[in-house]
Amino acid sequence: MIESINAGFSTKAVHSGEIRYNEYGSITTPIVQSSTFIFKNTEEIKLLAAGVSDRYEYSRYGHPTQLAAERKLAALEGTEDAVLFSSGMSAITTTLFALLKTGDHIIITDDAYKRTLDFCKICLSRFDIDCTVVKMCDYEAIEEAIKPNTKIFFSESPTNPYLNIMDLEKLMAIFNKTNIMVISDSTFATPFNQKPLDYGVHLVMHSATKYLAGHNDILGGVVLGKKELINPIREYLKITGGVIDPHSAYLLIRGLKTFELRMQRHNSSGQIIAEYLETHPKVKKVYYPGLKSHPHYDVAKAQMSGYGGVVTFELEDNVEHVLDFMGKLKILNIGPSLGGVESLIPHPATISYYKISKEERLKLGITDGLIRLAVGVENVEDIINDIKTALN
């Protein structure tokens, strides 16, 4: 297997995890569309019961297409093990349920994915698991939030939608003195642009729905790290059941084959578009870690090798004008999500945060004029022309 060779990133993305000569000689990993795996004879049952054989039994406990995708993702993250889930939220909720118990405490940063915050604040509290929300990048507040029963620190970097960057060296200087497990949602960075585990972060997770699969066609989630940390999460998944299905696992494997190529395009187009928007008179402000104007530009430069395809910008604070601009776009699609080949442009105030009051929304920094552009892999000049025409 390629894992034993010191190969480049794209070579790993294409070959890692896959069995070079599988049973059928197919170059692609088969979609093993089966809920159960039958025993050839009763001897096989005895070997399984004795713990001698390591074979598939039932797809909720793992299936071959899932395993190939997990091995590929672990190789790309540069770690021992990975466990796949049916969505990013399934990865987060199963992991936190697996690692926390009644009476524990978790710290999470305020600038996290809304549904992750909802889970910590609403669902975990029902099991008497206490949650403290601290300000992203306020390292003093993070340290002060630690209690004797704190078990997990959870954060994202870069964050959504302001693309704030956690200084992982500073963060781990705090947590290396403790037994608290640090989990980083690295969805916006991907293993191509950032490797949190190299800084001592214990577990990294991604919504595989985004850049990893890359084609806006599946849902998936993954948690990665040392085998001993992944094992209890995998065991818990066997109970909670949020496994990835074989077809989605196959599409993830297929998407990963062009991962480096896609990320190079997302990174270069993101930078060009951010620089373009910064010069446009109708754009009030642009947030992109690759811009010198971003508050965490220096940290991003030191710990990331690229900044991805998400560019956040602000127009005049007027919902009608913003919707008018979005309605005029011919190439960019209006819709949530990011990291796919098609560019997407959601308006957080009316798409993701429409259920909460304007007052609450503004407290979270979601203004009427805020737009999050998820740059796809189309030709960058076409994306710019589309934006230019709609803005003018």
Q: List the catalytic residues.
A: 60, 113, 185, 210
- Least Cβ distance, residue 385 to ligand PLP (angstroms): 28
Select the residue interacting with ligand PLP from 187, 193, 271, 367 (CB under 6 A): 187
Residue 160 as a binder of ligand PLP (CB under 6 A): the answer is yes
Half-sphere exposure at residue 7, Cβ-oriented, CA atoms within 13 angstroms: 17
Alpha-carbon span 336 to 354, nearest angstrom: 13
- Least Cβ distance, residue 178 to ligand PLP (angstroms): 24
Contact 294, 275 (CB under 8 A): no
Contact 282, 315 (CB under 8 A): yes
Residue 70 as a binder of ligand PLP (CB under 6 A): the answer is no
User: Which H or E element spans position 183?
Assistant: strand 181-185
Name the strands in the sheet holding 130-134, side by side, starting at the edge strand that comes first in the sequence.
81-85, 221-225, 203-207, 181-185, 150-156, 105-109, 130-134
Nearer CB in complex with ligand PLP: 123/390: 123
Residues in the interface with ligand PLP (CB under 6 A) total 12
- Least Cβ distance, residue 207 to ligand PLP (angstroms): 3
Q: Sort 148 into a burial class: Cβ within 10 Å, 0-12 / 13-18 / 19+.
A: exposed
Select the residue interacting with ligand PLP from 17, 62, 191, 221 (CB under 6 A): 221
Residue 109 as a binder of ligand PLP (CB under 6 A): the answer is no
Residue 190 as a binder of ligand PLP (CB under 6 A): the answer is no
Residue 88 as a binder of ligand PLP (CB under 6 A): the answer is yes
Residue 113 as a binder of ligand PLP (CB under 6 A): the answer is yes
Residue closest to ligand PLP (Cβ): 88
Contact 375, 339 (CB under 8 A): no
Lookup result for tokens 């970097």: 157
Select the residue interacting with ligand PLP from 157, 184, 207, 271 (CB under 6 A): 207
Footprint of ligand PLP on this chain (CB under 6 A)? 87-89, 113, 156, 160, 185, 187, 207, 209, 219, 221
